[in-house]
Amino acid sequence: MPRILIVDDESGYRKHLRRLFSDSGYEVDTVGSAAEAFSLASRHPPDGLIADWMLKDDLSGLEIAKLLRASNPSLKVIIISGYSSSELSEKARKFGISEFLEKPFSSTQIRDAVSRALETPQREHWQ
């Protein structure tokens, strides 16, 4: 089963998403910072990344995705954000993000987004 890495500084979202995807049969790792994400991904490369756009960190979820993709080009990325706008959504699309979801989202929405992302071939461009 695919491995998913969840990066969110809100522990409630991490716990909920861990439970949701573990119950769906995925291998799930959760972290609250960029440093933890890089450390864990180097030991256990994920197939999919769910990252919050705005973290209480030096890096955004998009920047984490870009850096992880450098060593794992097939990584599928879902960006989640409580600060959604058409500008953020467009920026995510330009960077080849598989899915962009606005918080709050339903369990069905995030589960479907991950399924679509993991089933869709990787886009060729990544800026």
Which pLDDT tens digit goes with each residue over 118-127? 998 765 444 4
* Domains within the chain, CATH numbers bracketed: 3-119 (3.40.50.2300)
Compute the average pLDDT of residues 93-109. 90
Compute the average pLDDT of residues 43-49. 97
Compute the average pLDDT of residues 39-59. 94
- 54 has a pLDDT exceeding 50: yes
List b or e across 7-46, with b for residues whose CB sees 16 or more CB atoms inside 10 angstroms: bbbeeebbeebbebbeeeebebbbbbbbeebbebbeeeeb
- 124 phi, psi to nearest 5 deg: -75, -30
Collapsed DSSP state (helix, strand, coil) of residue 85: coil
Q: At what angle do helices 61-71 and 34-43 cross, to 10 degrees?
A: 20
